């Protein structure tokens, strides 16, 4: 029997008919505690729309502050072994996210970069990692720009794509990716999985070493993984280890053999994407003596790798770091595949000024540039040095649910406000005139291409789930239309705002700040949003800050609305759902806080 997730009963009843709101699809009550009670009060259950005849009701409003139901749902998803039921549960989780309106999808990513013609064998995967370690060029060095000053280089603490790129070129895990995007063994020599899928026994390659020449063994993984989940480490990705069972003392059920050459891992439930986790930087080893040699390592867990010279186990080590200017990575002779590394030195230009980066590339000072000025993209199409490749991720705006913008509003009214903003955006304009690199307008958080875990596509209408907006396979029509504007105004009126002839009344103003990092594309998107919101009288100001400042301000919730983006870490939807649990370090919207 076809199982549809029960649509949230947000009925925008007007004389012209019924309006479908952004994210108006609620979880079916299959988990017992996943259904959320209405927070709508008698005082706000009805509000006049522009024609004084409309009502807006939401009997199953999701409260972005009372987030226990979402946390429980994610826990159930991770525990279930029925993969069809699991897909339905994951759709319910996305429904809850979309109903809050706090995640406003704009487009699905593609990845673009420039690479000189005499450089070959650099490859990327769908998750944005750039692998330079097997590159070939006529020179003995590569000059590269990925981004500005990296925020974190500790693989357990990093949560940015540029940091992940540096990690995969300087550290090595049990598994990695090849040029065909397949997950392949790296430090693992042999992996044996029990019949029930719960126990992985991994034998390491012999004679592995750290970059300082000391022995690397299975004990290093036990230490690194338990460090990653330790509350004192405060790793954003600690939840990535939830698939592994725990002991009574809270440590992971991960053990090294007596000779330290074999690692035994016990899982809570079979995990179809576990090999991808083993290739993820948070699962890379770190050397305990190096981590704990820093004087303040207990209060500043990333202190050990905040300057050049830290110990790694990958193809390169960081040998020079001029903060906010440049970094130099040098070939690691103790890397287990050192004989395959042809380029001795990687030199990184640290900058987010895409105009300066493009000039450096054209002057021959860069061999690889991971960004291009927006106004140059049209001219570069057809240039053999300009690449547009697939990437699995979503560019979106995130709302801080604790922002003063929603002060005095019920949970339902705050949700309505945020969903209204989503309906005002002209995504086609942004994709065609700003992105210009084959991006697709987004109307759901989970991007196209994600698998459903049992042989199909997650973002599709099938026997397990049907989207509330079936025609566009999402939560609303992503194209700008006057109909969407009318829906947005009705939602804002429900939230208590007054309109006169389609414009926000001065009696009930809306004003907020949009936080973004530097970059011509990000600024251009911000200006497009500013214009879209301004068309009905909403005042949005733009604040642009440096990359590492931006990351930390957004993470701390020091913003109203922020530029955001998430490139998947692996190809299962849970990756983009578990990041929003209350205690997740990647919960930028501050759900449950």
- Contact between 575 and 568 under an 8 Å Cβ cutoff? The reply is yes
pLDDT, residue 59, reads 56
Residues 6+ apart with CB under 8 A from 182: none
Burial of 288: CB neighbours in 10 Å, binned 0-12, 13-18, 19+: middle
The residue behind tokens 């007007």 is: 14
The separation between the first and the last C-alpha atoms of the chain, rounded to the nearest angstrom, is: 38
- Contact between 357 and 371 under an 8 Å Cβ cutoff? The reply is yes
Tens-place pLDDT, residues 478-523: 999 999 999 999 999 999 999 999 999 999 999 999 999 999 999 9
pLDDT, residue 52, reads 33
Say how far apart CA 350 and CA 199 lie, in whole Å.
42
Does position 11 have pLDDT exceeding 70, yes or no?
no
* Region label for 32, one of left (φ > 0), alpha (ψ between -120 and 50) or beta (otherwise): left
For residue 5, CA distances in Å to 26, 40, 76, 300, 443 come to 7, 21, 17, 45, 17
Smallest Cα–Cα separation from 398: which of 567, 560, 581?
560
For 205-325, list the strands marked E by DSSP.
254-256, 262-266, 316-322
β-pair type (368-369, 141-145): parallel
Q: For the chain, how big is the Rg over CA atoms in Å? A: 25
pLDDT, residue 186, reads 98
Say how far apart CA 441 and CA 210 lie, in whole Å.
45
Computed over every residue of the chain, the mean pLDDT equals 90
Give residue 234's Cα distance to chain centre: 18
Does position 553 have pLDDT exceeding 50, yes or no?
yes
Q: What share of the chain is helix, strand, coil (3-state, %, to 5)?
A: 25, 25, 50
Dihedral of the CA atoms 483, 488, 494, 497 (nearest 10)? Answer: -120
Domain boundaries, the chain: 10-108+393-580, 117-352
Does position 236 have pLDDT exceeding 60, yes or no?
yes
Phi, psi of 383 (to 5 degrees): -75, 125
Tens-place pLDDT, residues 143-187: 999 999 999 999 999 999 999 999 999 999 999 999 999 999 999
pLDDT, residue 464, reads 79
Say how far apart CA 5 and CA 19 lie, in whole Å.
19
Say how far apart CA 352 and CA 326 lie, in whole Å.
12
pLDDT, residue 60, reads 60
Smallest Cα–Cα separation from 544: which of 573, 515, 568, 586?
515
The CB-based long-range contact list for 457-461 (8 Å cut-off, 24+ gap) reads 458/87, 458/90, 458/91, 458/573
Say how far apart CA 97 and CA 32 lie, in whole Å.
18
The residue behind tokens 């500790």 is: 154
The residue behind tokens 């690692």 is: 263
How many H-runs (helices) and E-runs (strands) does the chain carry?
Answer: 14, 24
Tens-place pLDDT, residues 61-114: 799 999 999 999 999 999 999 999 999 999 999 999 999 999 999 999 999 999
Sheet with 10-14, side-by-side order of all strands: 17-19, 10-14, 55-58
Burial of 226: CB neighbours in 10 Å, binned 0-12, 13-18, 19+: middle
Say how far apart CA 427 and CA 105 lie, in whole Å.
9
Tens-place pLDDT, residues 566-581: 999 999 999 999 999 9
Q: Which CATH superfamily is domain 117-352 in?
A: Periplasmic binding protein-like II (3.40.190.10)
pTM of the model: 0.88
Give residue 369's Cα distance to chain centre: 22
* Over residues 264-280, mean pLDDT: 96
What percentage of residues in the chain have a pLDDT greater than 90?
87
Say how far apart CA 292 and CA 539 lie, in whole Å.
49
Does position 302 have pLDDT exceeding 60, yes or no?
yes
Say how far apart CA 248 and CA 23 lie, in whole Å.
40
pLDDT band, residue 7 (cuts 50/70/90) = very low
- β-sheet bridge partners, residue 188: 204
pLDDT, residue 10, reads 33
pLDDT, residue 57, reads 54
Q: Which CATH class is domain 10-108+393-580?
A: alpha beta
Tens-place pLDDT, residues 304-335: 999 999 999 999 999 999 999 999 999 999 99
pLDDT band, residue 543 (cuts 50/70/90) = very high
């Amino acid at each position: 029997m076809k199982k549809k997730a029960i649509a949230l009963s947000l009925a925008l009843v007007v004389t012209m008919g019924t309006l479908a709101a952004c994210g108006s699809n609620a979880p079916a009550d299959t988990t017992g505690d996943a259904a959320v009670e209405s927070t709508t009060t008698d005082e706000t259950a009805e509000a006049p729309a522009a024609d004084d005849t409309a009502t807006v009701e939401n009997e199953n409003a999701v409260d972005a502050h009372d987030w226990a139901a979402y946390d429980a749902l994610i826990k159930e998803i991770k525990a279930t072994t029925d993969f069809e039921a699991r897909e339905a549960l994951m759709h319910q989780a996305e429904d809850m996210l979309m109903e809050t309106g706090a995640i406003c999808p704009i487009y699905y990513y593609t990845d673009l970069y420039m690479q000189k013609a005499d450089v070959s064998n650099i490859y990327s995967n769908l998750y944005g990692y750039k692998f330079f370690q097997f590159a070939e060029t006529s020179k003995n060095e590569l000059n590269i720009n990925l981004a500005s000053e990296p925020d974190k280089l500790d693989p357990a603490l990093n949560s940015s794509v540029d940091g992940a790129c540096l990690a995969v070129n300087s550290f090595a895990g049990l598994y990695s990716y090849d040029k065909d995007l397949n997950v392949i063994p790296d430090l693992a020599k042999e992996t044996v999985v029990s019949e029930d899928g719960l126990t992985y026994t991994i034998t390491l390659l012999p004679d592995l070493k750290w970059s300082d020449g000391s022995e690397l063994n299975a004990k290093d993984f036990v230490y690194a993984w338990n460090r990653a989940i330790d509350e004192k480490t405060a790793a954003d990705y600690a939840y990535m280890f939830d698939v592994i069972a725990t002991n009574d003392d809270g440590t992971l059920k991960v053990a090294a053999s007596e000779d330290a050459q074999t690692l035994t891992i016990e899982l809570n439930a079979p995990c179809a994407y576990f090999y991808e986790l083993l290739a993820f930087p948070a699962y890379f080893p770190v050397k305990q003596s190096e981590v704990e040699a820093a004087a303040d390592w207990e209060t500043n867990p990333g202190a050990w790798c905040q300057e050049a010279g830290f110990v790694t186990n990958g193809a390169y080590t960081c040998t020079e770091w001029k903060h906010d200017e440049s970094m130099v990575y040098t070939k690691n002779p103790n890397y287990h595949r050192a004989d395959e590394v042809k380029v001795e030195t990687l030199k990184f230009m640290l900058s987010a000024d895409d105009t300066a980066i493009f000039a450096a590339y054209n002057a021959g000072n860069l061999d690889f540039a991971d960004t291009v000025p927006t106004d140059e993209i049209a001219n570069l199409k057809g240039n053999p040095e300009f690449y547009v490749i697939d990437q699995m991720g979503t560019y979106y705006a995130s709302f801080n649910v604790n922002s003063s913008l929603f002060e005095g509003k019920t949970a339902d009214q705050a949700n309505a406000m945020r969903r209204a903003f989503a309906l005002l955006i002209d995504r086609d304009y942004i994709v065609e005139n700003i992105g210009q690199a084959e991006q697709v307008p987004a109307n759901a958080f989970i991007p196209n291409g994600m698998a459903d875990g049992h042989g199909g596509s997650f973002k599709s209408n099938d026997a397990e789930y049907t989207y509330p907006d079936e025609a566009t396979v999402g939560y609303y029509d992503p194209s700008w239309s006057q109909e969407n504007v009318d829906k947005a105004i009705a939602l804002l009126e429900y939230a208590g705002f007054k309109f006169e002839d389609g414009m926000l009344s001065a009696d009930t103003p809306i004003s907020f700040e949009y936080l973004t990092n530097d970059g011509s594309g990000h600024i251009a998107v911000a200006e497009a949003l500013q214009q879209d919101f301004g068309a009905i009288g909403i005042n949005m100001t733009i604040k642009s800050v440096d990359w590492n400042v931006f990351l930390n301000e957004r993470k701390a919730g020091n913003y109203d609305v922020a530029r955001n983006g998430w490139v998947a870490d692996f190809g299962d939807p849970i990756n983009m759902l578990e990041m929003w649990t209350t205690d997740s370090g990647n919960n930028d919207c501050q759900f449950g806080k």
